[in-house]
């Protein structure tokens, strides 16, 4: 299962056309820290059913490129809002499942979800 991270995905196929990364008490994949690109460049993270998990790629914006299939206009003088982060929730059913894990597996899961260190 390819990934750009420090530790690759331990991919498991459950037969439904997609791959999931499985963590255990002994191992859990991690990603490299997010680094902002230089001005005029972008970073794309892609996940797929085929097994990509936040695969990083970089590129640069081309000014006035004549591509008929895609056109993006950026107005850098106009700002709408700042993104401080993305979140999630832990429901009661998720908590029950988390508590059913071994202490080591639970530690991997919670660190991968909440820690900046992975």
Q: What is the mean pLDDT of each run of 10 residues along the chain (118 residues)?
A: 62 80 82 82 83 82 70 78 75 92 89 72
The count of structural domains within the chain is 1
Strand partners, 30: 7
Expressed as residue numbers, the domain containing 54 is 1-61+88-117
For residue 5, tell me if it sits in a domain.
yes
In a domain, 50, yes or no: yes
How much is the pLDDT for 5?
Answer: 52
| 30 contact partners, CB below 8 Å, separation of at least 6 | 5, 6, 7, 112, 118
Tell me if 31 is assigned to some domain.
yes
Does any domain span residue 38? yes
Domain contains 43: yes
Query: What pLDDT was estimated at residue 82?
Result: 80
Kindly state whether residue 94 falls inside one of the protein's structural domains: yes
Report if residue 11 sits inside a domain. yes
What is the pLDDT at residue 102? 92
Residue 79 lies in a domain: no
């Amino acid at each position: 299962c390819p990934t750009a991270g420090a530790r690759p995905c331990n991919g498991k196929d459950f037969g439904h056309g997609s791959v999931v990364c499985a963590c255990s008490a002994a191992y859990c994949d991690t990603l490299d820290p997010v680094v902002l690109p230089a001005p005029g460049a972008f970073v794309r993270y892609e996940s797929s059913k085929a097994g990509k998990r936040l695969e990083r790629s970089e590129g640069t914006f081309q000014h006035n490129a004549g591509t008929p299939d895609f056109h993006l206009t950026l107005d850098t003088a106009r700002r709408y809002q700042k993104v401080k982060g993305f979140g999630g929730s832990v429901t009661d059913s998720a908590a029950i499942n988390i508590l059913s894990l071994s202490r080591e597996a639970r530690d991997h899961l919670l660190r991968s979800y909440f820690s900046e260190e992975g």
